[in-house]
A and B are shown apart, each in its own frame.
Chain A
Amino acid sequence: MRNRIGIVVGCILIMLWCLLPVAWVISLSFKSEAAITNGSPGFFPADGAGAGWDNYRAVWENDQFRRAILNSIGISLIATMLSVIVATLAAYAIARLEFRGKKAVLTIALAIAMFPVVSLVGPLFDMWRAVGLYDTWPGLIIPYMSFTLPLAIWTLSAFFREIPWEMEQAAQVDGATSWQAFRKVIVPLAAPGVFTAAILTFFFAWNDFVFGISLTSTENARPIPASLSFFVGSDPFNRPASLLAAGAVIATIPIVVIVLIFQRKIVAGLTSGAVKG
């Protein structure tokens, strides 16, 4: 009993710790700008300080921000899709085939993942300007892919290794080509892994700020996090905190939706019952 109480208390503490900033952002987004400038300590807006949905409306009516949402969604989804497809194929090869340099591939992939992002921004900036990728979608998609691929490959190859060889062999005996066996049996079985990799990749791409701000210059490709930093109100010494908060909340919504969709796929233990166990 004492244990249970401890767990409940612990959970509440952790939840508070994690969710308080989120709650505060939401609270800010409903306060008027003036109220924030004057200082508005309460969680709920004081009388007359509430802005209702005004902030959201203002953010939404901002063309640059709308364009940034489109950029973020497009870039993140494309990067996620490409990364997952490439990672699935690569991980399958690593899990199933014996080839020279397999260890090297895995080690190099890990090394890439450990590289500090900031250190690559400079060279990429130069390169992208030289080849004309600066301020374009591919200019962001490529670095996102290269940073998320290693993790995706490692996650997926672990999943593939768990799938018994016999599933594939059974499919082949049943008349499937190697490709059919992969597509109809292996990929569905590795679905939790595929979705895990997809979520991780999407997070990385969606939340990235460094590439977003350094490799773009216009709303042509600028994603939300970068775009938020360009929110400047009328007074340069007084940043529009409530607008920023509203923008941040809007930026969070797609992530929450995607996680909710993918999470169900991850939890559904698809591999259970593959073999007697």
Chain B
Amino acid sequence: MAAITMNHIVKQYGDGFPAVNDVSIDVADGEFMILVGPSGCGKSTLLRMIVGLEDITSGDMMIGEKRVNDLAPRERNLAMVFQNYALYPHLTVYENIAFPLRLAKKPDAEVDKLVREASATLELDEHLQRKPGNLSGGQRQRVAMGRAIVRQADAFLFDEPLSNLDAKLRGQMRTEIARLQRRLGITTVYVTHDQTEAMTLGDRVAVLKRGVLQQLATPRELYENPGNLFVAGFIGSPPMNFLPATVEGNQVKLPFGSVEIPAENAARAAGRGLLIAGIRPEHFEDASVAAAEGRRGSTFSATVDAVEWLGNETYAYIPFEAPAEVKQQLQQLEKDLDGEAMRTQLVVSLDGASRITEGHDAEIWVDGRRIHLFDPASGENLTVDRARAGRIPGAEVAAG
């Protein structure tokens, strides 16, 4: 077991394109670290550099106290689960799990003991003599994990292990992985593009965009205090709403009306001209429901374009017009997030009891304390609570 420290890691390909650019992440011993980001953000490359399948252009990769930059994969004592499992089809499940032990030339009795332990943990006992080709996706996934846990590696590395499973199985395996990691208490680095996996599994999450670390924080910190527009838009489903905004005194002017925000936030954003306000869908509410519950905040009235009733909650869609410069920034953000939506609209999550209907004006309540304000040019979050936002690499430089 060991900590993994990445120190200013750079990966440059032959054409000079930096797939990973100056990333520093420290994974504590026993920690579950998530690397997350849209496709092409360098998260898999980073993982493959940890395990040694990819050369490191510059920077230091430390496992425990040892610098491993120049070590071959087999000398790093790490276990990895590949996206497509990479099981050996010519070997039985038993031999697949035993493979690393056989390579280490362990005596048969010990191999047998360790394989049986692993298979019992993963409930693979009745499949031990089958070939991987005859197993279901979930079973193959478990075999791949068995091969990883059997050899008492210093750390586990997962490369999008659930992306080949269907939605239901994915949920089950997610909890399974979390349980296993807690039980074994082994350092884990897990790559995913799925923000739900990132939020539910990770002790801490590193959000990457185009090879650059955006923010390294706990899931809660990421959700409540995103460091910039990208993180704010990436974490959360449905995603955060972004609206053009200007600050006047303690009021934020939004396309639908003015909302009062806390004085300290207003002070930080004062005199900056046009900003982007970020509000999570659940920080809106049907004004009548909010009033009944006695919640304080501002309300505004808007025409609801579409309503999706899900039982426990309702999503309402409210289109709005954004000024050109904000629109451009939002479109760029959408592109960064691999998104398609070109329309500027507000997604509002309302209580299931709400009676708001399509095509009618509705009175909407909004929680002013939860509004984030972003600089449209840099994307930086002006209202971030630095003490509770983990590490935001760009901001460190600016501050120091």
Chain A interface residues toward B at CB < 8 A: 164, 166-167, 169-177, 180, 184-185, 188-189, 191, 270-276
List 17 additional contacts besides A169-B86, A173-B79, A175-B104; criterion CB under 8 Å.
Answer: A171-B88, A172-B73, A173-B52, A174-B74, A175-B100, A177-B74, A180-B103, A188-B88, A189-B90, A191-B90, A271-B89, A272-B89, A272-B133, A273-B133, A273-B135, A276-B84, A276-B140
Chain A hits for B53, CB < 8 A? 169, 172-173
Complex A-B, nearest 10 residue pairs according to Cβ-Cβ distance, in ascending order: A273-B133, A170-B86, A275-B84, A174-B100, A166-B86, A175-B103, A188-B90, A172-B73, A274-B89, A175-B74
CB distance A170 to B82 under 8 Å?
Answer: yes
B301 vs chain A, min Cβ distance (A): 51
B 59-96 to A, binary, CB cutoff 8 A, 1 in contact else 0: 00000000000001110001110111111111000000
Q: Which residue of B lies closest to A170 (CB)?
A: B86
Chain B residue numbers with a CB within 8 Å of A271 are: 89
Task: Chain A residues near B233: list those with CB within 8 A.
Answer: none
B151: shortest Cβ distance to chain A, in Å?
8
Within the complex, what minimum Cβ distance (angstroms) separates B67 from chain A? 19
Please give the distance in Å from B90's CB to the nearest CB on chain A: 4
Interface check B253, CB cutoff 8 A? no
Can you report 18 residue pairs joining A to B where beta carbons are below 8 Å apart?
A167-B88, A169-B73, A169-B82, A170-B82, A170-B88, A171-B99, A172-B52, A173-B73, A173-B74, A174-B79, A175-B100, A188-B90, A189-B89, A273-B87, A274-B132, A275-B85, A276-B84, A276-B140
Docked complex: B23-64 residues within 8 A CB-CB of A? 51-53
Q: Tell whether, in the assembled complex, residue A276 and residue B88 are in contact, meaning their CB atoms are under 8 Å apart.
A: no
Question: Closest chain A residue to B91 by CB distance?
Answer: A188
- B151 contacts across to A, CB distance below 8 A: 174-175
> Does any Cβ of A come within 8 Å of B297's Cβ?
no
Q: Is the CB of B103 within 8 A of A174?
A: yes
Specify the chain A residue showing the minimal Cβ separation from B140.
A276
Kindly state the separation between the CA atoms of A173 and B89 in the bound complex, as whole angstroms. Answer: 17
B82 with A174: CB separation less than 8 A: no
Instruction: Give CA–CA (A276, B165) in the complex, Å.
Output: 10
- A180–B104 Cα distance when bound, in Å, is 12
Least CB distance, B117 to chain A, in whole angstroms: 17
What CA separation (Å) do A191 and B89 show in the bound complex? 12
Q: Which B residues are CB-close (under 8 A) to A172?
A: 52-53, 72-74
Smallest distance from the beta carbon of B88 to chain A beta carbons, Å?
Answer: 6
Q: Report the Cα distance A273→B140, complex, angstroms.
A: 9
> Chain A contacts of B135 at CB under 8 A?
273
Q: A166–B147 contact, CB under 8 A?
A: no
A271 to B132, CA, bound (A): 10
Q: Which residues of B contact A175 (CB under 8 A)?
A: 74, 100, 103-104, 151
How distant is the Cα of A212 from the Cα of B225 in the complex, in angstroms? 82
Q: A166-B86, A173-B73 are in contact. Are A276 and B79 (CB under 8 A)?
A: no
B86 near A273: Cβ-Cβ < 8 Å: no
Chain B contacts with A in 107-145, Cβ cutoff 8 A: 131-135, 137, 140
Residues of A within 8 A of B132 (CB): 273-274
Residue B164 at the A interface, CB < 8 A? yes
Chain A residues with Cβ below 8 Å from B140 are 276
Q: How far is the CA of A176 from the CA of B131 in the complex (A)?
A: 21
A35 to chain B, nearest CB (A): 54
**B100 in contact with A273 (CB, 8 Å):** no
Query: Whole-angstrom distance between the alpha carbons of A185 and B95 in the complex?
Result: 12
Known contacts A169-B73, A173-B73, A175-B104; is-contact A276 B164 (Cβ 8 Å)? yes
B157, chain A: closest CB distance, angstroms: 8
Verify B103–A164 contact, CB threshold 8 A: no
- Identify B88's interface contact among A185, A191, A272, CB under 8 A: A185
- Closest Cβ of chain B to A277, distance in Å, is 8
- Residue in A172, A173, A273, A276 whose Cβ sees the most chain B Cβ within 10 Å: A173
Tell which of A174, A184, A191 has the most Cβ of chain B within 10 Å.
Answer: A174
Cβ 8 A contact of B90, one of A164, A170, A270, A276: A270
- Taking the closest CB of chain A, its distance from the CB of B98, in whole angstroms, is 10
A188 to B137, CA, bound (A): 23
Residue of B nearest to A273 (CB): B133
Complex formed: what's the CA distance from A275 to B103 in Å? 22
A272 to B135, CA, bound (A): 11
Question: Chain A's nearest CB lies how many Å from the CB of B23?
Answer: 21
